[in-house]
Structures are given as structure tokens and as C-alpha cells.
Amino acid sequence: MSTELNNILITGATRGVGEALTLRFAQQGRKVFALARTQQQLDALVQRGGSGVIPYSVDISNLEALETAINEIESDHGGVDVLINNAGIVQNIEFANQDIEVMNRILDVNLKGTLFCTRLTVPHMIERKRGRILNISSVAGVRGIFGQAAYCASKHGMNGFADALAQELIPHNIGVATICPGGIDTPLWDKETNPYPGDIDKTIRPSEVVDMVEFLLKQPVGTMYKRIVVFPTNEWH
């Protein structure tokens, strides 16, 4: 990874892929701005990751709170070199039965939260003439999945946004890429409230996604991969 990419902002940092990313980069001596909603989980993450983890208790769908956090990162910590849009929520339920508030929340976090974080970060990257934006999307962003209509809408939106943004940022030496994994073994798949519709023992491990992120960050901006789609061989769809 380029030595210029030392300051990394990760959303959804306390669980699953976000937690694995935070701990990996903190262990490398990078400065990680860990964004999540729950202060208790952030405190536990800092205990594991050490002084390189700088926690921010923020709901990324709250534009005002997010702007305050990113302004502080810019003024006090030298800004963001790498933005990893990772936060996401899902619910397995047929669309006709999904609660409207849950549907809104999925779109707020998965799509609007990504747009908000990126919009607040990109102008500073443009000013510095460098940066990377990585989006942790899903195979739900490249096809439809039964029982995940709202989630698919949010991830298709994320992918389309990333494709357009990548074109806009080429002149500014800023790379944009998206990873679209299939099922990952994370707390997102709760056995009772949100069961994984496949074999949980054969899902992708968070560490594998972290390896992909590191691979992408090692690539020159001019050859940045647009999208990586990866899923287990037993994937149900």
C-alpha cells in the first residue's frame, strides 16, 4: 500500500468486515477513523486495535453529525486518504411484507450514508490531489435476490454511484473501486432474526474481503479495478 495512504476512514467499523479492516490497518500502524453508532462497541474496538483507532460515534445517515466528525478529522488529524464505505444493513423479507421504516433505514444507511460520507470527503481529496474510495457493496448490487428487494435497490444504487464517481475523479488522481461479495460470515446474518439463506459454514470470511481491499489499495490509480464480484461456490443465487 502506498505510504501516502495512511489515514483511513471506515464506516460500520465495529462488526464484521469493518472490524476486520480496522484491526488490520491499525496493526500496520495506519491511523483508522472508525465510524459506528454504538459507543460501547467502539470502546471495545479501541481496546483491541490500540491508539491507531480513533473512534467516532456517528450515524452516517445523520448528515449534520457526520459533517461534524469529518470536519474534525480534517482539522485535527490531517484528513482522509482512504474512504471505505462499508456500513450496511439487510433484512430478509418479501417486499410486500417489509415495514416502511425498515425499508427507509436500509436506503438511508446503505445508499444515502455512502453518498453523504463521500460527498463530505471528496472535496478534501481533490484539494490534496490524491485519495482512494472503496465501496463494500454486494452481489445484490449486480443482480436481484429474493427477499432482499430494498437491499438490492440500495446496493445497485451504490454501484451506479461508484461507476459515475470514478469517471469524475480520474482527473484528480483519485481512484474509486467497489467490491461486491456474496454471503460473508458476519453478524449481519443472525440465525433467528435474519438467517442466511444458504450454508453459513461456506460463506466468505471477513479476512478475505480485507485481503481484496489491500490488493486494490496497492494498485496504481491509473489501473484501479472498477469492480470485484466474488461469491462462494455454493452461493444460493
Domain spans in the chain, listed from the N-terminal domain onward? 7-230
Q: In percent, how much of the chain has pLDDT > 90?
A: 73
Given this model, what pLDDT does residue 1 score? Answer: 47
Closest CA to 88 of 117, 125, 68: 117
Mean pLDDT of 204-228: 86
Helical H segments across the chain, by residue range: 16-27, 39-49, 63-77, 100-107, 113-128, 149-169, 206-217
The answer to whether 67 touches 120, Cβ cutoff 8 Å, is: yes
| Contacts with 40 (C-beta within 8 Å, 6 or more apart), sequence order | none
How much helix, strand and coil, in percent to the nearest 5, is found in the chain?
50, 15, 35
**147-203 pLDDT tens trace:** 999 999 999 999 999 999 999 999 999 999 999 988 776 666 665 655 565 666 667
The set of catalytic residues is 151
What is 7-230's CATH superfamily?
NAD(P)-binding Rossmann-like Domain (3.40.50.720)
Query: Residue 2 above 80 pLDDT?
Result: no
Q: How confident is the model at residue 235 (pLDDT cuts 50, 70, 90)?
A: low
CA-based torsion, 72, 13, 83, 23: positive or negative: positive
**117-138 pLDDT tens trace:** 999 999 999 999 999 999 999 9
- One-letter amino acid at 195 equals P
**73-95 pLDDT tens trace:** 999 999 999 999 999 999 989 99
